[in-house]
Amino acid sequence: MPSSTFLNLPTPKKDRIIHALVTEFSHHPLADAQVAPIVKEAAIARGAFYKYFTDLNDAYHFVYQLAIQTIHRAIPAPPVAHSAATYTNFTRSFLEQAVASEYFLFIKNHLLFNEQNVSTSVPLDFDAKTWAAATLSHAALREAIATSDSATQALILTRLNIALKHLFSGED
């Protein structure tokens, strides 16, 4: 996570750095990202980058958390009851918010190239149905974000809903 020095920067400078990070991580997988374009776009010294972040992985995790929090903030909390409709609607809402977000290309790049490098696993204390529903929803989200065709996205969400209905109608 960023240093307190970064967190205490004036908002315009902090926003400029965040924008540069989002730009770099939206256009390059984490393995190919570089500090040089970030510091150039943000108009900061290379040493300042390392004063704010431990390394590129640290900066990436910061942007990932920021993007996820921003997207989730716009989505109403799902009801406690677990159902196919609950998971499908939440996945649809996340997709819509992600597509409309300034972080869309970042999220798309994350799901397609970087996800395996960032720990975002489903908590181990989930029961089997919750784990399966979360895993199916995440896979559908990854597929839907990978395409820009809204008709294909709708088909993916329909398929998710059908699979979840089977999951929740089955015996434990």
List the chain pLDDT tens, one digit each, 172 residues: 999 999 999 999 999 999 999 999 999 999 999 999 999 999 999 999 999 999 999 999 999 999 999 999 988 876 667 899 999 999 999 999 999 999 999 999 999 999 887 766 667 788 889 889 999 999 999 999 999 899 999 999 999 999 999 999 975 5
CA distances from 170 to 60, 83, 125, 163, 164 (A): 40, 12, 21, 11, 10
Q: What's residue 81's pLDDT?
A: 72
CB atoms within 10 A of CB 158: 12
Grouping H, G, I as helix, E, B as strand and the rest as coil, residue 108 is: helix
Q: What's residue 27's pLDDT?
A: 98
What pTM, to 2 d.p., does this model score? 0.89
Q: What distance in Å separates the CA atoms of residue 94 and residue 19, rounded to the nearest whole number?
A: 22
Q: What distance in Å separates the CA atoms of residue 127 and residue 124, rounded to the nearest whole number?
A: 8
Q: What's residue 14's pLDDT?
A: 98
Question: Could you identify the residue written with the tokens 């997709």?
Answer: 95
Q: What's residue 4's pLDDT?
A: 97
CATH 1.10.1760.20 fits 4-71, yes or no: no
Domain with CATH 1.10.357.10 in the chain: 4-71
In sequence order, the 6+-apart residues with CB closer than 8 A to the CB of 4 are none
Q: What distance in Å separates the CA atoms of residue 34 and residue 131, rounded to the nearest whole number?
A: 35
Q: What's residue 172's pLDDT?
A: 52
| Radius of gyration in angstroms for the set of CA atoms belonging to the chain, rounded to a whole number | 18
Q: What distance in Å separates the CA atoms of residue 123 and residue 109, rounded to the nearest whole number?
A: 23
